[in-house]
Amino acid sequence: MYKNQSNFFHSINQFTRHFSKSLNEVLVPLGLYSAQWTIIYLLNTNGPSTQKDLSLYLGVEAPTMTRTLARLEKAGWISKLSGTDKREKKIFLTDLAHKQYEVWLEAVQACESNVLNNISEEERDLMQKIIERMNNNL
């Protein structure tokens, strides 16, 4: 067993908390939180989705996803439409969210660039591969 295994995972946990906080610092003035951004990013990248699929992909419990989606809907960033199964609704970004998306993306990318300062492309690629492999082990 890797002797610093607990420190390794503690570092990952600390990084994600600090990164989320940094992301909130740039997004909150734009009317959004980092947890909401992840949903908006997915909907923009992958297209409409169900609440269940979003929850599964992001590893978020259903009640938390319900609250986050309700806030996004109240803000006018998403809308829900019934699909073929009336019990399951597709979640879409609204025109308002599409218009605001580039502003959010620019803020997020500036935050990401700060975090990636002094980290080479090779190191980023290696880290991405490691994260993907770890995710596959979950």
What the chain holds in terms of domains, given with CATH numbers, is 21-137 (1.10.10.10)
Distance, in Å, from the CA atom of 135 to the CA atom of 88, rounded to the nearest integer, reads 27
pLDDT at 1 over 80: no
Distance, in Å, from the CA atom of 137 to the CA atom of 88, rounded to the nearest integer, reads 30
pLDDT at 137 over 90: yes
Q: At 89, phi and psi to the nearest 5? A: -105, 145
Q: What is the mean pLDDT of residues 28-50?
A: 96
pLDDT at 117 over 80: yes
With pLDDT > 90 as the criterion, what percentage of the chain qualifies? 88
Q: Which residue has the tokens 């067993």?
A: 1
pLDDT at 84 over 90: no
Taking the model in full, what pTM does it have? 0.87
Tell me what the pLDDT averaged over the chain comes to: 94
Task: Dig out the tokens for 47 from the structure.
Answer: 């297209």
pLDDT at 83 over 80: no
pLDDT category, 85, cuts 50, 70, 90? Answer: confident
Distance, in Å, from the CA atom of 62 to the CA atom of 118, rounded to the nearest integer, reads 38
Q: What is the pLDDT of residues 93-104, one digit of tens each?
A: 999 999 999 999
Extended strands (E) in 14-127: 49-50, 78-82, 89-93
pLDDT of res. 24? 97
Q: Which residue has the tokens 């770890």?
A: 134
